[in-house]
């Protein structure tokens, strides 16, 4: 059973066009993502799936693999499914989805998200969650919250604050969803063929499609937060964090 990673990357981002090619400490952001992906222990193959020749050129320029896909895909998952259809892999193999705008994720997170599918062939899909520590994320719609059952299967994802705490003085732990998924190859194809669900339309969250159609999503709590770059301000934050991490590693080596 192989684990591969496909990184969906499009140029025409609504809020930040060309963000995956934005300079980040002398490298395009997509290169940071690609190089981190290759450090995962369980991985056997990685590639960028894109619809833009500029991204293909950048990826091949730093020695990476790129797969050209159609420009009509409604989501990164659909783009990944097309890329995977061209690869010689088995239905039971595992496809990990790392977004091209996550330059600070930890490579071990690929191993974390793939583990449930490696351990249990009945699980079709898994994703990472993180216990919220930044108070502003509890109510921010861009930080997608998740609630899950005792076996760590997702019950619901929402841009709203869930769970709602009704009792005075009661407190809840809040978890946000990382955009890092693992799918069994056969389920990935099936997922992209499912009709869009009503909850998915309302929340603009494609993972709800799986839940609405009766499929279970295993959630894995990770110890690592991840910065998604959707704006130029977030790019600057990523740059500061990378610089701080580089200085810290340099001090350890001295």
CA–CA–CA angle 132, 138, 139 (5° rounding)? 160
Q: Is residue 155 part of a domain?
A: no
- Tell me the C-alpha to C-alpha distance, in Å, between residue 23 and each of 26, 31, 32, 36, 58: 6, 10, 10, 16, 12
Q: Is residue 10 part of a domain?
A: yes
Q: Is residue 163 part of a domain?
A: no
Render pLDDT for 170-220 as a digit per residue (tens, 0 to 9): 899 999 999 899 999 999 999 999 999 999 999 999 999 999 999 999 999
Q: What is the CATH number of the domain that holds 26?
A: 3.90.550.10
Q: Which contacts of 168-175 are long-range, i.e. CB under 8 A and separated by 24 or more positions?
A: 173/131, 173/132, 174/131, 174/132, 174/137, 174/138, 174/145, 175/129, 175/130, 175/131, 175/132, 175/145, 175/146, 175/147, 175/148, 175/219, 175/221
Q: Is residue 51 part of a domain?
A: yes
Q: Is residue 221 part of a domain?
A: yes
User: 132 with 225: CB under 8 angstroms?
Assistant: no
144 falls in which pLDDT band (50, 70, 90)? very high
And the tokens for 6?
Answer: 């496909």
Render pLDDT for 22-73 as a digit per residue (tens, 0 to 9): 999 999 999 999 999 999 999 999 999 999 999 999 999 999 999 999 988 8
Q: What pLDDT score was predicted for residue 43?
A: 95
In sequence order, what DSSP letters do the residues of 110-132 get, joined into one string? HHHHHHHHHH-TT--EEEEEEE-
Q: What pLDDT score was predicted for residue 206?
A: 94
Q: Which domain holds residue 41?
A: 3-128+177-253
Q: Is residue 171 part of a domain?
A: no
Question: Angle of helix 29-37 relative to helix 53-61, nearest 10 degrees?
Answer: 60
* Number of other residues whose CB lies within 10 A of the CB of residue 162: 17
Q: Is residue 100 part of a domain?
A: yes
* Number of other residues whose CB lies within 10 A of the CB of residue 202: 11
Q: What pLDDT score was predicted for residue 14?
A: 75
Cβ-Cβ contacts under 8 Å for 140 (sequence gap 6 or more): none
Q: Is residue 170 part of a domain?
A: no
Q: What pLDDT score was predicted for residue 15?
A: 78
| Number of domains into which the chain is organized | 1
């Amino acid at each position: 059973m192989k684990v591969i990673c496909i990184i969906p990357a499009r140029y025409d981002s609504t809020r930040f066009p060309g963000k995956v090619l934005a300079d980040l400490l002398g490298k395009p952001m997509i290169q940071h993502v690609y190089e981190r992906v290759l450090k995962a222990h369980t991985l056997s193959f990685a590639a960028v799936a894109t619809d833009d020749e500029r991204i293909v050129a950048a990826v091949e320029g730093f020695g990476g693999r790129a797969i050209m896909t159609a420009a009509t895909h409604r989501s990164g998952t659909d783009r990944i499914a097309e890329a995977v259809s061209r690869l010689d892999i088995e239905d039971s193999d595992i496809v990990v989805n790392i977004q091209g705008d996550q330059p600070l994720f930890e490579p071990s997170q690929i191993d974390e998200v793939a583990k449930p599918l490696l351990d249990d062939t009945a699980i079709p899909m898994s994703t990472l969650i993180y216990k919220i520590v930044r108070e502003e994320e509890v109510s921010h719609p861009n930080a997608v919250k998740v609630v899950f059952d005792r076996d760590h299967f997702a019950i619901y994802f929402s841009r709203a604050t869930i769970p709602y705490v009704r009792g005075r003085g009661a407190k809840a732990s809040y978890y946000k969803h990382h955009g890092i998924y693992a799918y069994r190859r056969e389920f990935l194809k099936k997922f992209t063929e499912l009709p869009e669900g009503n909850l998915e339309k309302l929340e603009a969250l494609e993972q709800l499609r799986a839940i609405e159609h009766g499929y279970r999503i295993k959630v894995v709590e990770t110890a690592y937060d991840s910065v998604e770059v959707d704006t130029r301000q977030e790019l600057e934050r990523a740059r500061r964090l990378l610089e701080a991490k580089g200085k810290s590693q340099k001090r350890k080596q001295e």
